[in-house]
Each structure stands twice: as C-alpha cells, then as structure tokens.
Amino acid sequence: MRKSWGVLLAALAAILVLPRHGYAETRTVSWSGVTTYADGTPIGAGTSVTYNFYWTSDAALSASSLKPVASSVSQTAATFDPDQKGMPRGQTVYFTGEVVLGTGVKSGLSTAYPWTVPVIATTPTLSSVSIAGPSSVNEGGSGTYAATATWSDGSKTSVTPAWSENSSFAAISAGGVLTAQAVTSNQPVTVTASYASGGVTRTATQAVTIVDVPSGTVAAIRNVVITGPVATQPVKLFRLGWDPIESYMDGVPIPVGTVRYTVYWSTDPGFSPNTLKPLATAIPGTSVDFDPDEEGMSSKARVYFTATAAAPNGAQSPLAAGISWVAVNIGPAPPSKGMIIKR
C-alpha cells in the first residue's frame, strides 16, 4: 500500500524577491523545489508537483488574508507587479506557499517570509509658476522680477523662465529686468513668465503700471557703498560712495556737475529726522571720506548711512535706501614711551 506522507515544504524559507531585469516595477519571487516527502522519501518521478504561492499583510498567515501570487505552477518562481497585486508601498508583506501533488496530497504553508514593498521615488512634476516683483515702475526706471515654480510634491524652487511683456513702452531682459521708457500718462503692461519642465509648461502673468512721473522729479540715490580704510595715517578714513544722478525720473538729462548731494549717518535704521547726522552737505562729488571717531560713531556700534540729491531746479530726491555698517574706530592710542627723569 502506498504511503501518504506529508510533503516537505521547509525549503520555501529560501524565498527571494528580486527586481526583474528591465522592469523596474516587476518583481520575481522564487523558492527551492520540493522533491521529497516530510520523512525524506523521494516523491515518485511520475507524480506531478505544483505550487500555490500567496502574499498577505498578516504575519500569522490567516487563511482569509491570503492573496494569490501564482497558482498551480510547476516552476519554482513567479513574477508579479506589487502595484497590480495591491501590495502597499512602504509596508511589510509576507509570502508563503504550498505544494500540491498530482495524487492530491497538499503540504502545509511555508514559514512566512517578510518583504518591505519599496517606495518608488517619483520625480515631481511642474504644477504652477508665480511671479514676484514690483507692481509699478517709474518711467525711465526699471524693476526686477523673479519666478518661482511649485511642484507636485509641494516644494518650491526659483527658476529662470522665458520672460515677455506686451507694451511698446517697456522691454524685459532674459534676467527679468523690466526697463520702462518715458510715458505721457500711466501705462499698463503685463509681464509674463513661461517655464517648461518634463514636457509640462506653466505660465504666470503680473500686471505692472508704468508711472508717469511729474517733470523735474529726482529719483533716490542708488548703490550707496562703504569701502576702506582708504587711509590709516594720521587717522583711519573710510569712503562712502554712491551712483551719480544724471537725469530726472522722466529721463530728461540734468547738466553735469549741477546736482548736490547731502549724506547722513544715524543709529536709527528707520532714519527718523531727529537722528540724522550730516556727514557731508551739498557736495558736488559722489563720495566722501570720514573718520568714525571724529564723527562720534561708537566703537563696534552699528550705524546706518543714507543720502539725498538736490537738482538745479530745486527738486530734492527722497532718502536713499540705507546701508548698515559697524564702526571700527578704536579711539585714540594710549600714551607710550613714558620715562622718569631725575632733576
């Protein structure tokens, strides 16, 4: 009488879950073939051996939780797509299997084999583009615009888009600098930024007004900077410089040498009028040298500089954008080379 031993499935503990070559989302699970019964007796050569293979999120391998990966296969491997099988990304699932002989004898389930379903890194796609920059630009002046891309993962990055505008009174550079021409009345212009990534193009617009500036208006001084020291003897001197004012805001030239500049320093970053201390008054040049100690700037204290320009027509510019600086004067040197003389 033929014995009906249980089928040995212990070899199924050697499961491998490998990516299938050429298919990033396809995996292959494999196992060792079963050739004997549980007591080591060989399975007859004429007896068919097939495998059922399952996955589950239940480490206990409850029967109701088992989902098929392969059924009634004779080979010792099965290919599957984790997404098609419904396996949750980033979570651990468990594989198990059983052997079914042609005689009807079936093994028990193999020991659960855990596998963490990998999270697929996806490249975020471009969702939108936004523009940042001034809503108005004075005639004869300029304004700088920047673009920011928002991606499908919620992140934001600065980007360099294709810039354009729709006005005959303005031009915008590849770097996003809008230059306004002279106008006789306020003029609207639309600034457009277009950016493409991964086959996706997004566009943003911003309404800008080119402002008609009254004749004779003087713009604020630009590019105030400090350099130095420019001299160290007999005292340490620093130089405050700025760009010259060469025309009115409507583009009308100002005769060379007729603009007068007044420069201030303050301990107040807001430049309240009662804190302004003159560094130079009504000078024709575009720089002034100063000694921090002589001006009363406390050592290692932060101070602020600004300037204003007066045109020959009497018009005066607003205060320039301030710059901050830490005074580095160290005060007078202590007495040296002392000696006592006997008389």
**What confidence tens digit (pLDDT) does each residue in 308-317 have?**
999 998 888 8
**What confidence tens digit (pLDDT) does each residue in 187-202 have?**
999 999 999 999 999 9
- Give the residue, 123 or 337, on which the prediction is more confident: 123
Q: What distances in angstroms separate CA 160 from CA 101, 127, 142, 195, 317, one per listed residue?
A: 66, 16, 19, 7, 34
> Does the structure show a pLDDT above 60 at 112?
yes
> Does the structure show a pLDDT above 90 at 322?
no
> Does the structure show a pLDDT above 50 at 15?
no
C-beta neighbour count of 155 within 10 angstroms: 10
pLDDT band, residue 163 (cuts 50/70/90): very high
* pTM assigned to the model: 0.48
Which numeric CATH code is attached to 10-116?
A: 2.60.40.10
pLDDT of residue 11: 40
> Does the structure show a pLDDT above 90 at 260?
yes
Where is 318: in which H helix or E strand?
none
pLDDT of residue 162: 97
Q: d(Cα 194, Cα 147) in Å, to the nearest integer? A: 9
CATH architecture, domain 225-326:
Sandwich (2.60)
In the block, tokens 């600086």 appear at 325
Which numeric CATH code is attached to 126-211?
A: 2.60.40.10
Q: What is the mean pLDDT of residues 61-90?
A: 93
> Does the structure show a pLDDT above 80 at 250?
no
The residues spanned by each domain of the chain are: 10-116, 126-211, 225-326
Q: d(Cα 41, Cα 6) in Å, to the nearest integer? A: 10
Q: 18-22, 60-64, 186-190, 202-206 — which is least confidently predicted?
A: 18-22
Q: d(Cα 303, Cα 271) in Å, to the nearest integer? A: 11
Do domains 126-211 and 225-326 share one topology? The answer is: yes
C-beta neighbour count of 46 within 10 angstroms: 6
